[in-house]
Amino acid sequence: MFSNQKFIRLSTAILLFVLLTIFSEAVTAQTNKLPVGVNVGNLVGSTLNGTMSVAQVNQLIQKKFGISVSPTAQALDLYKITYRSHDEKNREVVLSGLVVLPRGGAANGLVIFNHGTIVNSALAPSRFTGKSNASEAELATLAFASGGYAVAMPDYLGLGDHKGAHPYPLGAVNSPSAVDIIEPARTLAKLQNTLIGSKLFVSGYSEGGAVAMWTVRDLERKSGAGYDVSAAALASGPYDLSDTTRKWLLAAPTSQEEFVIRLYLTSYMAYYFHKSTGVKLTEYFKPAMALTISQAFKGNISDENIIKRLAVAAVLMRSKNSLANVITDRFKKTLETLDASDPVIREMRKSDVYDWSPRTKMLLISLPGDKIVDPLNTEKTLRTMRQRGIGKDILRQYVIKDAGLNHITAIAPALAEARRFFDGGFTGLRDAP
């Protein structure tokens, strides 16, 4: 039995806990509440994810980039935002993303960064709180926000808060999420009394490289000084889906690792079309693999575990590291003949973004021997744009010359080079091409 004194102490503790919980929930709710009577445009809400101190930022810069990115004197505030955009059927949707604001202002302007391929939203930019997690959101924050830039990173359709299917790997479909985050990012900065310079920059890596290319193309079609892009740095993007990337998927891999990566990317693509159009996965994959894909991609499973599940299924199917042994004969023929009656081929062709004439100063960053995004994508883009009359005053390529890097470990060097380009143009690069 409790004594009266113990009972009073226990009751007081419970009451205090309840009050603190209510207060905490009220504060959390208030962080998402926007000012009444203020024009916030397409910004729906914002929440402070965390703050990175100057010491923390510089420690991580040294760890992730070494001397290739200079230290900062500004702390960084990280905001998860929600904002209005539209999906592939032009329906209004609310998407999430991350906005990073340097304390004291971002005199150099705003960088829109488009991330590479993920399935699990735990690594979506809006989930980054400042604690090191090896995500692209962390690397982009360190590379750009440390240099006096505000940074806005869309999660994309189907990632972050949006519960639909992610349109992988369709840059044309994902670009609006990047275009539409610009205004909300600037609105948030005003609400936080943070001055952002007028310049606008675009960057992206891997899948995000192609999304970034589409973002620049879409922005060049818009009017208004707020959409004028000062420079774009795009790294290792699949700009040519229907030819270069399609042929890469069909080519015989040189290792089990290469095969599993191709299986993962092809599965992700097929899963999107399954969810968005209703086409059966068994149209693309043999039954055992189709079942594995349907279970792996629909749950809250890490990307690493998805890859492991696909790899195990492939071994049990005795695939012999050949995509042809896990996909259907129909899909193999579709890929080989570029059959546009299939939605995969139609949408791949619509998302090709190598054959156009940019006005924006653009740097194409690539890694020789990249085993995940064929560097021929970059070479074909450069060659095609040169044939269109785009000269070195507008477009150049930067080749990362470290043979010890792969598609994952090259992210940091690529973003460091993008930062140099934004800071000083083509002449600011480490080895000016």
pLDDT over threshold 80, residue 38: no
**300 and 418 fall within a common domain:** no
CA distance 88 to 77: 32
218 shares a domain with 280: no
Position 22 in a domain: no
Total count of domains within the chain: 2
Q: How confident is the model at residue 3 (pLDDT cuts 50, 70, 90)?
A: very low
Domain boundary among 350, 366, 400: 350
**371 and 330 in a common domain:** no
Q: Is there a domain that residue 130 lies in? A: yes
- Helices 136-144 and 411-424 pack at an angle, to 10 degrees, of 30
Identify the pLDDT of residue 23: 37
Predicted local distance difference test score (pLDDT) of residue 379:
98
pLDDT higher than threshold 60 for residue 274:
yes
DSSP-based three-state secondary structure for 235 = strand
| Among 270-274, 295-299, 351-355, the least confident range | 295-299
Do 99 and 204 lie in a common domain?
Answer: yes
CA distance 237 to 79: 27
pLDDT at 57: 98
* Single-letter amino acid code for the residue at 230: S
Distances (CA, A) of 237 to 37, 108, 200, 298, 377: 42, 25, 20, 26, 7
Lowest mean pLDDT segment, chosen from 23-37, 77-91, 96-110, 252-266: 23-37
pLDDT of residue 226: 85
What CA–CA distance (Å, rounded) separates 397 from 386?
12
User: How confident is the model at residue 430, as a pLDDT?
Assistant: 77
Give the integer Cα–Cα distance in Å for 257 and 408: 13
Same structural domain, 286 and 341: yes
- In three-state secondary structure terms, 391 is coil
Which residue in the block uniquely carries the two structure tokens 């993303």?
97
Q: Which sign does the torsion angle of CA 79, 80, 82, 86 carry?
A: positive
pLDDT value, residue 39 = 72
More reliable by pLDDT, 249 or 18: 249
Confidence at 113, pLDDT banded by 50, 70, 90: very high
- The answer to whether position 197 is within a domain reads yes
Task: Indicate if 206 and 320 belong to the same structural domain.
Answer: no
pLDDT digits (tens, 9 = 90+) for 329-383: 999 999 999 999 999 999 999 999 999 999 999 999 999 999 999 999 999 999 9
- Indicate the pTM of the whole model: 0.90
Give the pLDDT confidence of 396-422 residue by residue, as tens digits: 999 999 999 999 999 999 999 999 999
For residue 19, pLDDT beyond 60? no
Q: How confident is the model at residue 254, as a pLDDT? A: 84
pLDDT in tens, 93-111: 999 999 999 999 999 999 9
pLDDT of 4 reads 45
- Do residues 240 and 169 make contact, with C-beta atoms less than 8 angstroms apart? no
Confidence at residue 129, expressed as pLDDT on a 0 to 100 scale:
97
Sheet holding 362-366, edge to edge: 43-52, 76-86, 92-102, 149-154, 109-114, 200-205, 231-235, 362-366, 395-399
Mention every residue, 6+ apart, whose C-beta is less than 8 A from residue 354: 239, 240, 377, 380, 381, 384, 385
**Structure confidence at residue 147 (pLDDT):** 97
Q: Give the rounded percent of residues in the chain with a pLDDT score beyond 70.
A: 91
Beta bridge mates, 8:
none
Is pLDDT at 32 greater than 70 in this prediction? no
- Report the percentage of the chain scoring pLDDT > 90: 85
Please give the full DSSP string across 80-144, using - where no structure is assigned.
EEEEEEE-TT--EEEEEEEEEEETT-BTTEEEEEE----SSGGGSGGG--SS----HHHHHHHHH
Q: Confirm whether 6 is domain-assigned.
A: no
**Cβ neighbours for 397, distance < 8 A, ≥ 6 positions apart:** 363, 364, 365, 366, 378, 379, 382, 433
pLDDT band at 22 (very low <50, low <70, confident <90, very high): very low
Within a domain: residue 101? Answer: yes
Q: Does residue 165 share a domain with residue 262?
A: no
Kindly report the CATH number assigned to the domain that includes residue 398. Answer: 3.40.50.1820
Q: Read off the DSSP letter of residue 283.
A: G
246 in a structural domain = yes
Per-residue pLDDT reduced to its tens digit, 176-230: 999 999 999 999 999 999 999 999 999 999 999 999 999 999 999 998 888 999 9
Find, among 119, 131, 388, 383, the residue nearest to 244 by Cα.
Answer: 383
Q: Is the pLDDT of residue 29 over 80?
A: no
Are the C-beta atoms of residues 108 and 422 closer than 8 Å to each other? yes
Any domain includes 154: yes
Spatial contact of 185 and 153, defined as CB atoms under 8 Å apart: no
Domain boundary among 332, 350, 368: 350
The two beta strands, 109-114 and 92-102, are: unpaired
- pLDDT band, residue 8 (cuts 50/70/90): very low
Phi, psi torsion values for 153, nearest 5 degrees: -130, 115
State the pLDDT at residue 2. Answer: 40
Both 110 and 149 in a single domain? Answer: yes
Q: Which residues contact 227 (CB under 8 A, 6 or more apart)?
A: 179, 182, 200, 219
Q: Within 13 Å of residue 48, how many CA atoms lie on the same side as its CB?
A: 13
* pLDDT at residue 328 in the model: 97
Say yes or no: 75 and 95 in one domain.
yes
DSSP H helices, 356-405, are 376-387
Does one domain contain both 228 and 365? yes
Q: Do 161 and 227 lie in a common domain? A: yes
What is the total residue count of the chain? 433
d(CA 9, CA 4): 9
Q: Which range marks the domain in which residue 286 is found?
A: 242-350
Q: Are residues 359 and 343 in the same domain?
A: no
d(CA 98, CA 44): 13
Per-residue pLDDT at 20 exceeds 80: no
The mean of the pLDDT values for the chain is 91
Q: Is residue 218 part of a domain?
A: yes
Contact of 182 with 112, CB cutoff 8 Å: yes
User: Computed over its alpha carbons, how large is the radius of gyration of the chain?
Assistant: 23
Measured CA to CA in angstroms, residue 122 lies from 25, 59, 91, 412 at distances of 22, 23, 25, 20
Residue of 77, 55, 79, 72 lying closest to 146 (CA atoms): 72
Instruction: Pick the last residue of a domain from 320, 350, 380.
Output: 350
Q: What pLDDT does 16 receive?
A: 40
**125, exposed or middle or buried, with CB in 10 Å at 0-12, 13-18, 19+?**
buried
Asked if the model's pLDDT at residue 11 lies above 50, the reply is no
> By the 8 A CB rule, do 419 and 408 touch?
no
Asked whether the predicted pLDDT for residue 159 surpasses 80, the reply is yes
Q: State how far the Cα of 214 lies from the Cα of 207, in Å rounded to an integer.
A: 11
